[in-house]
């Protein structure tokens, strides 16, 4: 247990878990997915996934982490030695590296946009802004360099250990981020054309609610946004003390994470629809990078707001990136006895190598989209593979493991330690044993069938 560390303060865990959850998933991923999923229908599905599937699994993952006090592979082993369950933990470790490999590329974009927003380089008319984004993302070497910077900083934070690095950064950043988002939302909803954007965002087209692709995307996005289904919360839970009630901490994290995602939608769609001819599904992963610079251009002192926004977004992305890398790092420390330093350096470099194709993918998109098996660009492939499949499968395995192997009564012992607050505990048990695994299997099976068919 030497090189592990625990959180510095009572509030520290919530801060750190929120720091992990709040990131590109909320501000870049959520609006992008809403745009792909046809607006409010996606929002509705997303909220249902958060409440009925992800929130219960978050509690399960945290409880398992706090009980076993080790990395994902070790956690499964500790509860059920001499079984193959450790392989679930191995999927988690791989998913951490896989997700970070495209996450770091997007974080590199936000890093560059600090400069672009400050200098006005991104342009001011909608056409200029769009063309600028396309040109910027097709420059391979620039993107590779930015990805390297993000990975180096992420590794650097982890070298400083758990407590000092993550908590301090989050405590500073989170209130500023929320404040700035509120200001931007207030501006966005008063733009001409905003009403159309709000309708798109809030009034569901029910034919989309029954689209299995949209359901799967909502499920994947919910897992991704909560940092759930690959052991990040398990590892963070292992640093949690018994003085903190798990259910309450989980509720705070879910509330904050969901509020920030919804807030981002209140910025992107009203300001997007204020641009003539705007199509929310057309710009794909570039959505926020083409909508936001336009919004900043309408604000007095817009370059200042823009730069501040991208600084905060980059910081939010870094606290999340740190939590992604922490899973493989914790694994190397706990399971293989590596010193933290070696674990961080090896994993940082390994992830960077995997990230290279993602960083180059936009420039080389012709090559990647020509891949016969997938017929999608490289980034979409990564998001489909990790978010839409690996994370729900990880959540499924966690629910089954906690519900049937560790068992609900044992888990409740951990959850109720020191008389912790946990209303609805019976319902939680039912969700973990039956509803969550069933819902995930049905969604994934239907998704696969619709992909083949």
Footprint on this chain of ligand TRP (rule: CB under 6 A): 20-21, 23-26, 99, 224-225, 227, 230, 232, 320, 323-324, 391
Smallest distance, ligand TRP to C-beta of residue 426, A: 28
Smallest distance, ligand TRP to C-beta of residue 321, A: 7
CA 389 vs. chain centroid, Å, equals 14
Tell me whether residue 88 or residue 324 sits nearer to ligand TRP (CB atom).
324
Smallest distance, ligand TRP to C-beta of residue 298, A: 27
Smallest distance, ligand TRP to C-beta of residue 319, A: 8
Tell me whether residue 225 or residue 362 sits nearer to ligand TRP (CB atom).
225
- Whole-angstrom CA distances from 39 to 77, 196, 200, 367 are 42, 11, 5, 31
Smallest distance, ligand TRP to C-beta of residue 264, A: 11
- Whole-angstrom CA distances from 272 to 119, 133, 225, 265, 283 are 22, 16, 22, 10, 11
End-to-end CA distance of the chain: 50
Tell me whether residue 229 or residue 293 sits nearer to ligand TRP (CB atom).
229
R_g over Cα of the chain: 21
Smallest distance, ligand TRP to C-beta of residue 97, A: 11
Tell me whether residue 266 or residue 278 sits nearer to ligand TRP (CB atom).
266
Tell me whether residue 194 or residue 288 sits nearer to ligand TRP (CB atom).
288
Tell me whether residue 209 or residue 359 sits nearer to ligand TRP (CB atom).
359
Smallest distance, ligand TRP to C-beta of residue 224, A: 5
Contact between 290 and 126 (Cβ < 8 Å): yes
Smallest distance, ligand TRP to C-beta of residue 21, A: 5
Give the orientation angle of helix 302-336 with respect to helix 86-119, to 10 degrees: 160
Residue 423, both tokens: 């209303």
Q: State how far the Cα of 275 lies from the Cα of 203, in Å rounded to an integer.
A: 20
3-state SS of 165-224? HHHHHHHHHHHHHHHHHHHHHHHHCCCCCHHHHHHHHHCCCHHHHCCHHHHHHHHHHHHH
Smallest distance, ligand TRP to C-beta of residue 20, A: 5
Residue 43, both tokens: 């929002």
Tell me whether residue 166 or residue 431 sits nearer to ligand TRP (CB atom).
166
Residue 278, burial from CB neighbour count under 10 angstroms (0-12, 13-18, 19+): buried
Tell me whether residue 17 or residue 215 sits nearer to ligand TRP (CB atom).
17
Residue nearest to ligand TRP (CB): 25
* Beta carbons within 8 Å of 408's beta carbon, 6+ residues apart: 402, 429, 432, 433
Tell me whether residue 41 or residue 166 sits nearer to ligand TRP (CB atom).
166
Residue 9, both tokens: 């303060």
């Amino acid at each position: 247990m030497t090189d592990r560390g625990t959180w510095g303060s009572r509030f520290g865990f919530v801060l750190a878990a929120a720091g992990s959850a709040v990131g590109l998933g909320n501000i870049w991923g959520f609006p992008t997915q809403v745009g792909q999923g046809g607006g409010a229908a996606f929002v509705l599905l997303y909220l249902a996934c958060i409440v009925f599937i992800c929130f219960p699994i978050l509690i399960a993952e945290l409880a398992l982490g706090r009980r076993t006090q080790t990395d994902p592979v070790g956690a499964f082993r500790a509860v059920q030695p001499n079984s193959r369950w450790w392989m679930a933990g191995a999927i988690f470790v791989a998913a951490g590296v896989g997700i970070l490999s495209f996450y770091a590329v997007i974080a590199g974009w936000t890093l560059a946009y600090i400069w672009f927003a400050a200098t006005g380089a991104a342009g001011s008319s909608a056409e200029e802004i769009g063309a600028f984004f396309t040109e910027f993302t097709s420059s391979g070497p620039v993107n590779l360099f930015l990805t390297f910077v993000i990975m180096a900083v992420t590794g650097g934070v982890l070298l400083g250990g758990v407590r000092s690095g993550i908590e301090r950064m989050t405590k500073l950043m989170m209130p500023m981020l929320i404040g700035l988002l509120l200001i931007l939302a207030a501006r966005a909803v008063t733009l001409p054309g905003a009403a159309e954007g709000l309708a798109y965002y809030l009034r569901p087209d029910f034919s989309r609610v029954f689209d299995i692709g949209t359901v799967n995307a909502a499920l994947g996005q919910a897992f991704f946004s909560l940092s759930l289904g690959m052991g990040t919360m398990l590892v963070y839970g292992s640093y949690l003390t018994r003085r903190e009630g798990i259910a309450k901490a989980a509720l705070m994290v879910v509330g904050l994470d969901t509020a920030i995602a919804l807030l981002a939608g209140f910025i992107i769609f009203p300001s997007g629809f204020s641009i003539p001819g705007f199509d929310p599904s057309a710009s794909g992963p570039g959505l926020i990078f083409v909508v936001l610079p336009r919004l900043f251009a309408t604000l007095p002192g817009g370059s200042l707001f823009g730069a501040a926004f991208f600084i905060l977004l980059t910081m939010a992305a870094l606290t999340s990136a740190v939590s992604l890398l922490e899973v493989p790092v914790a694994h190397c420390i706990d399971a293989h006895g590596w010193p933290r330093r070696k674990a961080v350096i090896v994993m940082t470099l390994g992830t960077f190598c995997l990230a290279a194709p993602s960083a180059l993918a936009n420039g080389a998109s012709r090559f990647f989209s020509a891949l016969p098996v997938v017929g999608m660009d490289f980034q979409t492939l990564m998001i489909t593979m990790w978010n839409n499949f690996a994370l729900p499968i990880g959540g499924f395995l966690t629910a089954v493991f906690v519900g049937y192997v560790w068992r609900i009564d044992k888990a409740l012992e951990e959850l109720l330690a020191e008389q912790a607050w946990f209303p609805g505990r019976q319902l939680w048990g039912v969700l973990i044993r039956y509803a969550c695994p069933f819902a995930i299997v049905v969604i994934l099976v239907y998704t696969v069938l619709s992909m083949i068919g």
